[in-house]
């Protein structure tokens, strides 16, 4: 069945090519399609486009389909183009002509726009929970290991003293900024496109503000043309925010892969979190973090892919937009998997307490020796030259007393401030409003 079916049959090769992977991918959007249809039905009833009797029949059957989707028994039948077609077909099979009323004042264009918005809103909430869990883990590790020294590196050369406390907290604060970006994106997608129809509105007396309220959106996309070319833009903005989180995961995973190597030996994990070699019995490979690194890189590539697909599209709907789902929807699940496994693994990390015993770190505190000269009144450049000469002659003093007091340094991690910043960001999402609205729809 096709919602656009006329009195001819499309060639099978063309049909398979144009439908693509929609029947599989649309199952992820199925329950959101039902939520949109519930709100749309209630609006149609309230404005008098369908009777209360028929509206109640549609709503009861939609709720039944929703439960079937939740239990995993609802499927898109072979030959059915997408979830929108399947739901209308099911309603028509079960309710007769009443089922066909569901498409009044609506197009598949604004249906899929709405489904994706509702889906993204739900997924962003799940991602925020997972990011918060990883954040809490990192900040806890920072507090636990704040006094454990860790050599800092630049250009992969020994640089200056750091600490595990400083290192863990760096990634925690990075996640705060990542969620700031995700929150900005959330505010953009938390707007209702329903009622834009095929991109030019409807001459029927619909009430777009009502569906906005029923679905818990913050506001609506007022201009119906803009609502339509928000498709692609929304995916690009969300993917950009997700790629920022992925970038933090990527760098963390890269550090851990490096730090687990025998040459560094900074951190370790239990054997059951590593993998072995098929021929080298001594190997304990960081496959978890290598996969996080690789999967994160794929997510980081996603905004560019979406941009390339949409970059030369004029206003109005084009079928090109259909293919955005193919990598976009799975990438969201991939990011969630990476966040879960990262949190799980970090709960079992062990840190080397005696890294600085290795003589390769004998010059780690050279800057501290320079700074001591500066405190005595020696100009920095002269102090630098003096210490450089001492290093050349092998006369650099042993580890001096180190005192870092400024905000965000070894002696002043500012973890409370970082924790408070995350609390503020999470509160700014306001997930409660849409949650209550959707629960009311399903009552």
- Mean pLDDT per block of 10 residues along the chain (443 residues) reads 50 61 80 97 97 97 97 91 91 95 93 95 98 98 95 93 96 98 97 94 96 97 93 94 98 96 93 78 85 96 92 82 88 96 96 93 89 90 91 82 83 93 96 96 92
How wide is the angle at C-alpha 76 spanned by C-alphas 73 and 79, nearest 5°? 145
pTM, whole model, 2 decimals? 0.91
Domains of the chain: 12-104 (1.10.275.10), 109-146+156-211+218-357+414-429 (1.20.200.10)
Q: What is the pLDDT of residues 126-166, one digit of tens each?
A: 999 999 999 999 999 999 999 999 999 999 999 999 999 99
300-339: string of b/e by CB count within 10 Å (b at 16+)? bebbebbeebbeeeeeebeeebbebbebbbebbebbbebb
Residues 6+ apart with CB under 8 A from 59: 38, 41, 42
Residue entry with tokens 């519930």: 38
φ/ψ (deg, to 5) at 151: -70, 135
Give me the pLDDT at residue 4, please. 42
Q: Indicate left, alpha or beta for 152 from its phi (over 0: left) and psi (-120 to 50: alpha).
A: beta
Determine which helix (DSSP H) or strand (DSSP E) holds 350, and give its type and residue range: strand 350-351
Determine which helix (DSSP H) or strand (DSSP E) holds 154, and give its type and residue range: strand 149-154
Question: How far is residue 345 from each of residues 2, 20, 374, measured CA to CA in Å?
Answer: 47, 37, 44
Given a contact cutoff of 8 angstroms between Cβ atoms, the answer to whether 195 and 201 are in contact is yes
The token duo for 68 is 């079937």
- Number of other CB atoms surrounding residue 220 within 10 Å: 20
């Amino acid at each position: 069945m096709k919602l656009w079916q006329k009195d001819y049959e499309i060639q099978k090769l063309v049909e398979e090519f144009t439908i693509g992977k929609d029947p599989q991918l649309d199952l992820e959007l199925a329950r959101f399609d039902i939520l949109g249809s519930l709100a749309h039905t209630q609006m149609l009833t309230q404005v008098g486009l369908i009777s209360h009797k028929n509206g109640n029949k549609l709503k009861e059957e939609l709720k039944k389909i929703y439960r079937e989707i939740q239990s995993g028994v609802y499927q898109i039948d072979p030959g059915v183009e997408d979830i929108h077609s399947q739901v209308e077909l099911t309603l028509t099979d079960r309710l007769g002509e009443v089922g066909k009323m569901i498409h009044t004042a609506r197009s598949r264009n604004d249906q899929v726009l709405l489904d994706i918005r509702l889906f993204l809103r739900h997924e962003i909430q799940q991602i925020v929970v997972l990011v918060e869990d990883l954040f809490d883990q990192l900040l806890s590790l920072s507090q636990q290991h704040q006094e454990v020294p860790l050599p800092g590196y630049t250009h992969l050369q020994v640089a200056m003293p750091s600490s595990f406390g400083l290192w863990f907290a760096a990634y925690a604060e990075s996640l705060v900024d990542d969620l700031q970006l995700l929150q900005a994106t959330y505010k953009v997608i938390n707007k209702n496109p329903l009622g834009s129809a095929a991109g030019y509105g409807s001459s029927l007396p619909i009430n777009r503000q009502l569906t906005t309220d029923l679905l818990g959106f913050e506001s609506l996309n007022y201009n119906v043309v803009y609502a339509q070319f928000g498709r692609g833009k929304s995916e690009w903005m969300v993917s950009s925010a997700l790629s920022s989180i992925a970038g933090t995961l990527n760098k963390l995973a890269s550090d851990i892969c490096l730090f687990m190597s025998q040459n560094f030996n900074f951190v370790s994990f239990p054997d059951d979190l590593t993998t072995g070699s098929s021929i080298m019995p001594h190997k304990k490979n960081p496959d978890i973090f290598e996969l996080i690194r690789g999967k994160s890189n794929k997510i980081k590539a996603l905004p560019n892919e979406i941009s390339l697909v949409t970059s030369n599209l004029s206003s109005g709907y084009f079928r090109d937009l259909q293919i955005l789902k193919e990598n976009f929807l799975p990438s969201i699940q991939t990011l969630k998997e990476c966040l879960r496994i990262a949190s799980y693994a970090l709960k079992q990390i062990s840190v080397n307490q005696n890294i600085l015993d290795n003589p390769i770190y004998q010059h780690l505190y050279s800057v501290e020796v320079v700074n001591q000269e500066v405190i005595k009144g020696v100009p920095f450049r002269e102090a630098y030259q003096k210490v450089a000469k001492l290093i050349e002659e092998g006369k650099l003093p042993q580890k001096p007393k180190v005192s870092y007091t400024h905000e965000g340094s070894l002696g002043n991690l500012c973890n409370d401030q970082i924790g408070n910043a995350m609390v503020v960001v999470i509160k700014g999402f306001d997930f409660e409003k849409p949650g209550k609205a959707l629960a009311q729809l399903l009552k």
